[in-house]
Structure formats: structure tokens, C-alpha cells
Structure 1
């Protein structure tokens, strides 16, 4: 198992996160918590996996309820960062563009311990193929859900 930072399994894997044994780690926008479970199980990290989707959190809790070192949290990412103790490592795979940067950046700065690591990926285009914008405003993004339905959300691609 490895973290897929980009399409087709590209990217640096878990090595970019550093030594995780016993470290507090935050997975922002964890989805089904697959990466968070890998870090807790195979790297000895103490992982808080946070997502604002009740469905994703239910999936993660069902799959990994007994996994030591993994705490699955239903919460807004920024609200969680304001109430949690600072982390040694914060990472996010394709989730940061869904959070308004004016809310997120300060929360990340205070949610990370001095000398901690922040690692994340962002998409360079939206589902319509539109690249980054010169304006700092959200735009609609369509997420395709299991079962074929779609959900429109706001995405920041700057």
C-alpha cells in the first residue's frame, strides 16, 4: 500500500511524510480513510482522519473501527484544526481545493507544530478541464458519486 499523490500512482509515496512512528498525523479530507489506515497500521502513526462527509466517515468507521492508532472524525477541517492539539504532520490528497483558503491557511499554520510537515496535492484542473483561475473565488465542481448521481460543490482552483 502506498499513498497515491497523483494520477496513476505517481508521487513520492509515504517517504515525504518522514518518520511517522508515534507521531500525531492529520489526514484532511480523508474520504474512506484508506491512506490514514495505512499510516496507522504500517507506520505506527497516531492518525486523526477528518472528513465533513457523513457517508465517507461511516465507510471509514465500518472498515477500520478496530484499527489501533486511527481516529476517524466527522468534522469541518478548519473547525477541527481550531480545537485539536497541533500535529507533527498534516497531509491531504486532493482535498484542500474544497476549503476556502482564507479559512484554511491560518488554521493550518496554527494546527502544525513548529518544524512539522505539511504535504498536500491539488488538482490542476476541474472536472470540466478548466485550469487555475486568476481570481481567488470558488467555482462549481461536479463530483460523481457511487451509483451514478452527481453532487455540485465549490472548489478553489487558483
Structure 2
């Protein structure tokens, strides 16, 4: 378990693509966690493409003990998701956050290798996010190798 001397506001931070999973898998998972008394954070805002991640969302990641990343076909299409993922993996490397990946209708090897629908998504980010693209790809690939929250 991630160790930190500061208080955690959320047990679980859910990172997901709203286009793919907000109104099905993620909302069901969120409600199930809440029913079990687990403090989960699910961003309710519909975010606009091209915007930077809000400081409140970054703070929610930092104030969580665990992040569940729900990789879906459109996950990498969202610059918000990739910014979240970059922050999540940064905190994981510092042992400040446990990370649990869920591969929702995607092949884990496509996540690890940035292939399939993810390859096209990264190509589409090239114009607006070239300066962040390699860091996002590295975080994406690294997250694809996580097993059992380790």
C-alpha cells in the first residue's frame, strides 16, 4: 500500500474515458465502491478537448490512496486522460499511490505497446501536444505492465 504521512481524502480515484465508460462500467463501479463504504472519486465534469487538467482534479489524484485506471478504446484519445495518467504514474513511482489497471474491451498488449486504437490516438495528439507526447506514451506503456496493483 502507498505510504504517506498526509491524510487521504479519497480511497480510490477513477481514471476513465467518459466517452467509453462513464454511463456504464465506470458508473456501476463507482456506485459499487460507494455501497461498500469505499470513498471513491469520479469526475463528474464533461471536459472539453484541448483543455489543461484542472488543479482540483490533480489534487484529487494526490489525495487518493489508489487509482483505478480503466483503459478503454478511447482512453488515449483524451488529453485529459493522458494528463491524469502521467500524474498517476508519477505518484506511483514515488510510492505515493497504488495503481490498479482495468482493461475494458482492450488488449493489455495494445496498452503496453501503444498499438491498435491507441496508436491512432497518439498520432492525433501530435499537433497540439508534441511536447508532452513522449512522456504520455511512456506512462501509458508503463501502466500497461502493472499487474495486481503492484
Report the TM-score, using the length of structure 1 for normalisation: 0.41
Instruction: Give the structure with the larger strand fraction.
Output: 1
Larger Rg over CA atoms: 1
Report the TM-score, using the length of structure 2 for normalisation: 0.43
